[in-house]
Amino acid sequence: MRKVNLVLVAIAVVFLIWIMDRVGWATLGRNLLQVGWYWPLLLLPYGLVNLLEAISWKFILVNREHRPSLNRLFWLRLGGEALNQLTPTASLGGEPFKASALHAGGTSWDEATASVVIHKGILVLSLALYIFLGLALAPFLLPGASSHLMILCLAALGLAGAGGAFVFAQRRAPCTTGIRLLDRFGLCPAAIKEKEETFNNVDARMAGFYRGYPGRCFLAFLLFFCSWLLHGVEVYLMFWLLGHPIGWNLAICLDALAMLFTALGFFIPAAAGVQEGGNILLSLGFDLGMVLGVAFSILRRLREAFWLSLGLIAVSREK
């Protein structure tokens, strides 16, 4: 699987270089220079995104005695997401890091693990809602693309269904059920079997949170949805700095549909190639042109590089 991911990344890099060459390096350079000294503004929206998601995570950690500070959750989330994006683990490589770092800070292992799993489910469901918002705006911005929108709607429904099933399973003792199923076929490792009670506690934590704290669950979801809206603010800001301002409805629609393309490439590190291809296709579809689509993709990658670097620093400090 790792070799397959490396091959896909290599293909994506070749594709991106080919697109940039076709656009023209000089043309692309002029568009990027348009941003000038205002480029630090592009870093702000994602900082707020990570802050809202850290607050959302804090609502899930109900034990006040060992609850980490918001500052620590901010950096742990940033580090975990860096590992999610940069490792060939289908956007899951950073979740063990988050749980182990929380546990090292005094949070019980079962609560740390349960909080990470719950937060992941809320992420997927809030993303699905954001994508549906973009799809609801799309017919007003792309009136002649109903057939293509139907395909995107099916993909969004698949994402929402997967997220809903994931959250539903969290309330039905998934760890205990999985261990018993593996044990029945003689496939359960001894190390996991020995920790069956601990996994039972994780199941109890997850089910107990949904049953006992529906208000916290809703607030965590709402904060996550607001963090997705901030991605739309980022898109609005990027096109404004590129000298081609767009409306708020187009910014949110463009970003929501771009997130759908990125989600479909979850198995490729950083969704390399898939994200760029989606951005360019959408820019062409919204009559923004290939040049702006490529410039927008590069700006978003530069922003990602900055925050991913900080995330990796956070990971190294934990070790």
DSSP 89-146: TTT-TTHHHHHHHHHHTT--HHHHHHHHHHHHHHHHHHHHHHHHHHHHHHHHH-TT-H
- Is 187's pLDDT higher than 70? yes
- Where are the chain's structural domains? 2-318
| Model pLDDT, residue 88 | 67
Note the pLDDT tens digit of each residue in 112-164: 999 999 999 999 999 999 999 999 998 888 766 666 788 888 889 998 999 99
Q: What is the model's pTM?
A: 0.87
| Model pLDDT, residue 18 | 53
Note the pLDDT tens digit of each residue in 217-262: 999 999 999 999 999 999 999 898 888 899 999 999 999 999 988 8
Residue 67 has phi, psi (to 5 degrees) of -70, 130
Q: Which amino acid is at 241?
A: L
Question: Residue 46 belongs to what H/E stretch?
Answer: helix 44-60
Helix axes 196-212, 146-170, angle to 10 degrees: 120
In three-state secondary structure terms, 256 is: helix
Mean pLDDT score across all residues of the chain:
83
State both tokens at 268.
């490729």
Note the pLDDT tens digit of each residue in 7-46: 555 555 565 565 555 545 555 566 666 776 777 888 899 9
- Is 2's pLDDT higher than 70? no
What is the b/e burial string over 143-175, where b = at least 16 CB atoms within 10 angstroms of the residue's CB?
eeeeeeeeebbebbeebbeebeebbeebeebbb
Residue 78 has phi, psi (to 5 degrees) of -60, -45
Note the pLDDT tens digit of each residue in 56-104: 999 999 888 778 899 999 999 999 998 888 776 667 778 888 999 998 8
Spatial distance between the Cα atoms of 119 and 77, rounded to a whole number of angstroms: 11
Res. 1 pLDDT band, cuts 50 70 90 = very low
